[in-house]
Structure 1
Amino acid sequence: MTVFSKDRLIYFTAVIITMAAGLASRHFGALLPIFVREHFGDALWAGMIYFGIRMLWINRSREWAMIVSLMFSWAIECSQIIQTPWLNEVRSTVLGALVLGHGFLAMDLLRYAVGILFVYGIDRYFLRNKKA
Structure 2
Amino acid sequence: MSKNNRFSYFILIIFTVILGILSRKIDGIPNFFGDILYAVMVYFGMCFLFPNYDQKKAIILALLFCYCIEFLQLYRAQWIVSIRKTTLGHYALGQGFLWSDLVYYSIGVVFASIFCVFTLKKTIH
Answer with 1 or 2: which has the greater Rg: 1
Task: Tell me the secondary structure at the aligned position of residue 87 of structure 1.
Answer: helix
Task: Tell me the secondary structure at the aligned position of residue 5 of structure 2.
Answer: helix
The one of 41, 51, 54 aligned to 1:58: 51
The one of 73, 76, 84 aligned to 2:77: 84
Alignment of 1:1-132 (within 5 A): 5-28=3-26, 30=27, 32=28, 36-128=29-121
Poorly superposed stretches of 4+, deviation over 2 Å: none
**TM superposition score normalised by structure 1:** 0.87
The Cα shift of 1:37 comes to 1.4
Distance in 1 separating the partners of 2:79 and 2:12: 33
Distance in 2 separating the partners of 1:89 and 1:39: 24
CA contact (8 A) 1:62 1:124 kept: no
Distance in 2 separating the partners of 1:21 and 1:38: 12
CA contact (8 A) 2:24 2:31 kept: no
Distance in 1 separating the partners of 2:55 and 2:25: 31
Distance in 2 separating the partners of 1:127 and 1:73: 23
* Structure 2 residues not aligned, in runs of 5+: none
In structure 1, give the amino acid aligned to 2:11: T
RMSD: 1.5
* Structure 1 residues not aligned, in runs of 5+: none
* Same amino acid, percent of matched pairs: 35
CA contact (8 A) 2:84 2:90 kept: yes
Task: Tell me the secondary structure at the aligned position of residue 123 of structure 1.
Answer: helix
